[in-house]
Homo-oligomer: A and B are copies of this chain.
């Protein structure tokens, strides 16, 4: 079964790559249209399997189809072509005519995530960008929403077929063993993954262990620190605390950009203000039992730490866990950082109180690679620039007076970052730049126009 899928993807690579750009763009648009048309079938399935609310899922589907259409536009516009005219006087020797184009890297395996059953799953950003780059895609479905994965897969497959994509351009497979086998298969040329550090690192290790190693674009883990300056805390502490709680409890805290660390000046009461708002938040179900078990384990690890105080203990209700708020000091974190800097995927976050600017900067310097880093401050804050600089050295996106949850699908977005945020710090998995992951540059030297590959 997997063998058939791999053989079909391999066979589809050339004809899918040679389909005229306008037809490939039309195929992506067709996928978007058919997904929109199937919303009333797909959203209830997603609700049932992911326990996420309907409004959120409908919004996520809009984002997903918008994304497909944005990539279709990019395909229509064409990818960058660089050219050098011949120059016999080029200093170190005559320069030939060179034209550098981008060719599809080949079949791509996409590991779907559970927390965005549309936008980071079967028809999500990785799939859309790989198809836009003219690569066949094999999705390894997430076990958290198997029926939705198949239903989405059928819609995508049908739309692509009708639009003239060769058979084998797209398929969905299930099961960890199939996923691992696909990563090791010589016909696969790249892997995209969104998930945990443990699972992602294991697959990365496989991809680079192959006789022919291949690029592995893994988004693994991030705690997305938010720093609040003393000035900002004093001038609008309540507003910032409210924004923080809304952000970390959104989607039951199951966002890769959830602020897991709220680094605030001691003595400004931000922890108490946040705690008040956390108590108002309702319990919400988690995505699935695996996520639930992981959440309880990582939360347990934090709570047991002797320097951690529980500000709000979220009740474990039949509906799911209510949010939990913890607190510690910058001093404790600097003394014993690792256990306190572990991602806790779910509705919990850690307030870190700093006693001085130096302590705040030291916390920033203690961080590993992050998807995002945020500062809430005032325009004339002396600490703002050094803090932003430290965060930029460690994160793929740096925010000012905003919240990291919600990643705009645009041209200039960068959703990535140094390890463990990702395994490929130069690449983004969101926004039009995501196609670059699947395009291989080739320079044609003195090749006449009519002989260039399609």
Residues of chain A touching chain B, judged by Cβ–Cβ distance below 8 Å, are: 14, 59, 62-63, 66-67, 82-84, 90-93, 95-96, 98-100, 103, 105, 189, 204-205, 208, 212-215, 368-369, 379, 384-385, 388-389, 392-393, 395-402, 406, 408-414, 416, 418-420, 423-426, 428, 433, 436-437, 439-448, 450-454
Distance to closest chain B CB from A281 (angstroms): 21
Known contacts A62-B91, A447-B400; decide if A100 and B413 are in contact (CB<8 Å). Answer: yes
Distance to closest chain B CB from A431 (angstroms): 8
Asked whether, in the complex, the Cβ of B408 is within 8 Å of the Cβ of A98, the reply is yes
Distance to closest chain B CB from A358 (angstroms): 17
Chain B residues with CB under 8 Å of A82's CB are 411-412, 433
Asked whether, in the complex, the Cβ of A105 is within 8 Å of the Cβ of B446, the reply is no
From B95, B379, B436, give the contact of A410 (CB < 8 A): B95
Chain B residues with CB under 8 Å of A401's CB are 446
Chain B residues with CB under 8 Å of A385's CB are 451, 453
Q: Which residue, A14, A406, A445, has most C-beta atoms of chain B within 10 A?
A: A445
Of all A-B residue pairs in the complex, the 10 with the closest CB atoms, nearest first, are A414-B443, A63-B92, A82-B412, A98-B412, A400-B447, A208-B208, A84-B412, A399-B445, A100-B412, A389-B453
Distance to closest chain B CB from A342 (angstroms): 14
Asked whether, in the complex, the Cβ of A410 is within 8 Å of the Cβ of B446, the reply is no
Asked whether, in the complex, the Cβ of A103 is within 8 Å of the Cβ of B393, the reply is yes
Asked whether, in the complex, the Cβ of A451 is within 8 Å of the Cβ of B212, the reply is no
From B90, B99, B440, give the contact of A408 (CB < 8 A): B90
Asked whether, in the complex, the Cβ of A212 is within 8 Å of the Cβ of B419, the reply is yes
Known contacts A105-B425, A385-B451, A410-B95; decide if A398 and B444 are in contact (CB<8 Å). Answer: yes
Q: How far is the CA of A428 from the CA of B393 in the complex (A)?
A: 24
Distance to closest chain B CB from A25 (angstroms): 18
Chain B residues with CB under 8 Å of A419's CB are 212-214
Q: How far is the CA of A105 from the CA of B327 in the complex (A)?
A: 33
Distance to closest chain B CB from A426 (angstroms): 6
Known contacts A412-B98, A440-B418; decide if A388 and B423 are in contact (CB<8 Å). Answer: no
Q: How far is the CA of A446 from the CA of B437 in the complex (A)?
A: 26
Asked whether, in the complex, the Cβ of A426 is within 8 Å of the Cβ of B436, the reply is yes
From B389, B402, B418, B448, give the contact of A96 (CB < 8 A): B402
Chain B residues with CB under 8 Å of A83's CB are 412
Q: Which residue, A66, A414, A428, has most C-beta atoms of chain B within 10 A?
A: A414
